[in-house]
Amino acid sequence: MRRRTPLLVATLVLLAAPLAAQQQSEGYKFLDAIKKEDGKTVVDMLGRPGSTIVNVKEVTSGDAALHIIVKNGGGENFMKYLLQSGADPNIRDKRNNTPLMLAAQLGKGNYVPILLEYKANPNLANASGETPLIAAVQNRDVATARVLLDKGADPDQTDSVAGMSARAYALRDARNPALTKLLTDAPKKVQAAVAGPKL
């Protein structure tokens, strides 16, 4: 049996230390506490002076705490606490999904008014150009579509996959007459003129 040299052992120990530290980073611990709905740990971590951890993202998915809450169905009060603590309601994951987009896609309409109250932009599209309103229409979710329209969602903003808007999707799918009527009656958004440079 070969003996390891002290230099080799020292090198292995030094390489393992950063890996262990990375696995237990503050961001990792915070997002793990979010997943476990461990309110005490979350409050303790956010309460540290100068803490900026509220918008940390997972390395693989790009999910932030708000994405995780929407996906896992964490409590609405938990979401409000994070938003009050500085969580960005328009933070994007690796597919450019905002928490509002995920809420509309996953049929989690209970989060939509909360996110909108904290200034989530209802017109931010994901990597496919899909907006929360398009997702609500595709899910035939009249209540979420109504809330989004009331908060300024553009019914004519098109996606980049089919080049269709929420209004177009609603008109094409006649299975939900209430949704079709809601989108048919939605006023067109007036695009603000962009002023050029003054000469």
Q: Is the pLDDT of residue 16 over 90?
A: no
Supply the CATH number for residue 165's domain: 1.25.40.20
- If asked whether residues 61 and 78 sit together in one domain, one would say yes
- If asked whether residues 93 and 29 sit together in one domain, one would say yes
Nearest-angstrom CA–CA distance, 124 and 154: 10
> For the ranges 21-30, 57-66, 90-99, 132-141, which has the lowest average pLDDT?
21-30
Nearest 5 degrees, angle CA 184-CA 174-CA 125?
A: 60
* Model pLDDT, residue 17: 43
> For the ranges 16-20, 48-52, 136-140, 158-162, which has the lowest average pLDDT?
16-20
Given pLDDT bands bounded at 50, 70 and 90, which one contains residue 21? very low
- If asked whether residues 111 and 129 sit together in one domain, one would say no
- If asked whether residues 54 and 109 sit together in one domain, one would say yes
* Model pLDDT, residue 24: 61
- If asked whether residues 94 and 149 sit together in one domain, one would say no
**Domain final residue pick, 98, 121, 144:** 121
* Model pLDDT, residue 82: 97
- If asked whether residues 182 and 159 sit together in one domain, one would say yes
Q: What is the mean pLDDT of residues 108-125?
A: 98
Residue 195 lies in a domain: no
> For the ranges 10-19, 56-65, 165-174, which has the lowest average pLDDT?
10-19
* Model pLDDT, residue 4: 52
Nearest-angstrom CA–CA distance, 189 and 155: 8
- Model-wide pTM > 0.85: no
Given pLDDT bands bounded at 50, 70 and 90, which one contains residue 185? very high
**Which domain covers residue 157, as residue numbers?**
122-188
**Domain final residue pick, 72, 94, 121:** 121
Neighbours of 179 (CB within 10 A): 23
The count of domains in the chain is: 2
- If asked whether residues 150 and 110 sit together in one domain, one would say no
**Domain final residue pick, 121, 137, 163:** 121
Nearest-angstrom CA–CA distance, 119 and 129: 20
- If asked whether residues 127 and 103 sit together in one domain, one would say no
Q: Nearest-CA neighbor of 120 among 72, 73, 85, 87?
A: 87
Q: Is the pLDDT of residue 72 over 90?
A: yes
- If asked whether residues 63 and 92 sit together in one domain, one would say yes
Given pLDDT bands bounded at 50, 70 and 90, which one contains residue 85? very high
- Per-residue pLDDT tens over the stretch 36-56: 999 999 999 999 998 889 999
Sequential DSSP letters for 27-70: HHHHHHHHHTT-HHHHHHHHTSTT--GGG-B-TTT--BHHHHHH
- If asked whether residues 77 and 91 sit together in one domain, one would say yes
Residue 110 lies in a domain: yes
- Per-residue pLDDT tens over the stretch 150-159: 999 999 999 9
Residue 4 lies in a domain: no
- Token digits of residue 105: 């896609």
- If asked whether residues 143 and 106 sit together in one domain, one would say no
- If asked whether residues 93 and 180 sit together in one domain, one would say no
Task: Kindly state the percentage of the chain with pLDDT values over 70.
Answer: 83
